[in-house]
Structure 1
Amino acid sequence: MENAQRKMWAGIAFTLLGGTLWGISGTSVQFLTTEGGAPPTLVTLMRVVLGGSLFFAFLLIRKRATVHAVFTSRRTIAGILLFAFSLYANQLCYAQTVQITNAGTATVLQMLGSVFVMLFVCTTTHKLPRVKEFIGLVIAIIATVLIATQGNIYVLSIDVAGLTWGIATGLSTAFYILVPKRFGLFEQFGSVVVVGLGMFLGTIFAIPIYAVQSAGAMNAVSVLSGFGAFEWLVFIVGLVIVGTIGGYGFYLHGVSIVGSVKGSLLGAIEPVSATIMAALWLGTAFTMHDIVGMLLMCIMVAFITTDE
């Protein structure tokens, strides 16, 4: 019993750490798409290619046999490809939302993934959520509405396009949390192999989508040639290593321990991290409604992680 409790707390810690690192990722995306002038599709393509390649190289060195085992079954191949697409879609939708709004708002909208996860789990298991999870969900929804409307429920305070991309981010978040569970990927191959392969295989979707989009966007070479040393540092360290490999790796490993519903709710730490980083680094201004929304997210995290 003590070992199980220790494992659960370790899972909570990994999930919260991953969510915190995601916040750094969001601020990095905001910097690269605004100050760096890079379109979201290019930032996402670079993120997937470099992050996925580094992760895949590690897997070939340390987990080659497990990687091979993933591709011995049609079911697991389908699962890993669906997971890869959901990871890529999440990064692209998130980058689009950040460019239109800001890192803090985008990460709060991403919390809608908790709603979709809980609805899916309750529907498929024919069970109501636990009281704490339901209350946590209500708090998360209140925080999201507060930030999106700035306290006036009759007026949407953010761009419709930003809200649309934010909802898409929430949906893709729910997908990449639920897919590994539905296909038993974590149980069979471990979170490290699944996340690494998911990132690497995301290039299958990232390259053609950028090729289509770039016909009317700035050329990648001209954008990247305009990057200075600091922009490259933000991209490689802040976005790829810390925000992508660290963020997704720690978060999904934690989710594999604590479960999809609690894990999706614990991801609420991300908007807090993103908001603090955006305010301190980029000088992004936030209203009192934004701050209250972030505090509600923190309260929700503390609430659902306390003992029953």
Structure 2
Amino acid sequence: MKKSRRIGLIMIISGATLWGLSGPMIQWFFHHTELSSISFLVVRLLLAGFFILSYLFFRKKNIFGIWKLPRHWIQLIIFAVFGMLGAQYVFIEAIHVSNAVTAMLFQFFGPVLITIYVAIQIKRLPSLTQFLAIITALTGLYFLITNGSVENVVLSKKAIAFGVLTMLGFTFYTLHPESLIKQWGTIVIVGWGMFIGGIVLFLSHQTFSVYSLTETLTINTFSMMILIIITGTLSFLFYIGILKYLSPTETSILASIEPLVAAIISVTWLNESFGAYQLLGGIFIIVAVIFLTIPKKEIELYAATQKVS
């Protein structure tokens, strides 16, 4: 095995494992503290964004150039508020009102929506493989929500609502910053997205204060919060560098261990239990997303039309 490929495999497995672990950690955190999702997210976004931008600054990267172009920084602010902040908020709330595995599976459904969006944009029906994957994913989502019985829906209305918003948030988060990332790079956009999102949430959440934060947190919960921030940031940085070593298909397939890791940790550590049909639904969603990584012609055509426009 080539050294570069070995590095790529280590990065994707590490990134997926850390992200899969972060979900149960967030769930544990909210079970052991009275801190609100918004207060937690303020700290998470501000610290992660600050450290990423500081890292880039000391590496002498141009992190301020984007602010010289109004069209770009307007797009950046939209991404920060509705993409970065919006997607993370609904994901954390989905964990809060359901559990980590369910939230991750809803998020994992995002590529299905992206496939549908791309098909609409290029005005072409999905390929047979894509169509079957979409049907499989929808079947999986049905099982996840109902555990096989419409009369006894296992998820609350709030959990379903935040789950659907998590799918939409992931889709917007992925599609909106495409042109910005091509121009400025992924890390710059994500760093600013986190930092701006944190500032916006801090200014709009007037009840947030450092004093109330210190009063609410114990040594254990504070340590867990820092660990969540570190693992989440590291997992994303791993994902950023992966495509230098692995193909997008390999990356997506290996990333499917995220919900598997979350499920194992949730069952063994948090004593979560899942219905047989819910587990089957999760498998359906994962298999569907893997199959969606195989055909690339429509994605390439969409990218080409974006360049022309």
TM-score bracket for the superposition, by shorter chain length: 0.7 to 0.9
1:171 matched to 2:168? yes
1:77 matched to 2:68? no
Shift of 1:13: 8.1
The answer to whether the 8 A contact 2:48-2:229 is kept is yes
Shift of 1:150: 0.6
Q: Mark the runs of 5 or more structure 1 residues left unpaired by the alignment.
A: 1-5
1:287 matched to 2:283? no
The answer to whether the 8 A contact 2:137-2:289 is kept is no
- The equivalent position to 2:191 in structure 1, one of 187, 193, 196, is 196
Instruction: Give the match for residue 223 of structure 2.
Output: 233
1:249 matched to 2:237? yes
Instruction: Give the match for residue 136 of structure 1.
Output: 133
Instruction: Give the match for residue 87 of structure 2.
Output: 90
Amino acid at match of 1:242: T
CA RMSD of the aligned region, Å?
3.3
Shift of 1:268: 4.9
The answer to whether the 8 A contact 2:86-2:169 is kept is yes
Instruction: Give the match for residue 26 of structure 2.
Output: 29
- In 2, Cα distance between equivalents of 1:222 and 1:30: 21
Instruction: Give the match for residue 120 of structure 2.
Output: 123
Greater CA deviation, 266-275 or 47-56? 266-275
- In 1, Cα distance between equivalents of 2:253 and 2:117: 14
- Relative distance call for 1:199 and 1:258 in structure 2 (3 A) is farther
Amino acid at match of 1:25: S
The answer to whether the 8 A contact 2:27-2:99 is kept is yes
The answer to whether the 8 A contact 1:111-1:170 is kept is yes
Shift of 1:263: 7.9
Shift of 1:53: 1.2
The answer to whether the 8 A contact 2:28-2:270 is kept is yes
- Relative distance call for 1:14 and 1:300 in structure 2 (3 A) is farther
Amino acid at match of 2:185: G
- In 1, Cα distance between equivalents of 2:163 and 2:11: 25
Instruction: Give the match for residue 210 of structure 1.
Output: 205
- Relative distance call for 1:60 and 1:91 in structure 2 (3 A) is same
* 1:232-257 deviation digits (Å, cap 9, x = unpaired): 222112x11112x1233344566899
Amino acid at match of 2:45: V
Amino acid at match of 1:208: L
Shift of 1:105: 1.1
1:278 matched to 2:266? yes
- The equivalent position to 2:156 in structure 1, one of 156, 159, 162, is 159
Shift of 1:177: 0.2
Amino acid at match of 1:196: G
The answer to whether the 8 A contact 1:109-1:163 is kept is no
Shift of 1:110: 2.1
Q: Secondary structure at the match of 1:299?
A: helix
Shift of 1:137: 2.8
The answer to whether the 8 A contact 1:272-1:298 is kept is no
- Relative distance call for 1:173 and 1:76 in structure 2 (3 A) is same
- Relative distance call for 1:123 and 1:300 in structure 2 (3 A) is closer
Shift of 1:229: 2.7
Q: Secondary structure at the match of 2:205?
A: helix
The answer to whether the 8 A contact 1:30-1:98 is kept is yes
- The equivalent position to 2:144 in structure 1, one of 142, 147, 150, is 147
1:60 matched to 2:57? yes
**Percent of pairs identical after alignment?**
24
- In 1, Cα distance between equivalents of 2:236 and 2:30: 21
Q: Mark the runs of 5 or more structure 2 residues left unpaired by the alignment.
A: 297-309
The answer to whether the 8 A contact 1:70-1:77 is kept is yes
Amino acid at match of 2:66: V
- Relative distance call for 1:43 and 1:101 in structure 2 (3 A) is same
- Relative distance call for 1:307 and 1:150 in structure 2 (3 A) is same
Amino acid at match of 1:176: Y
- In 2, Cα distance between equivalents of 1:70 and 1:100: 37
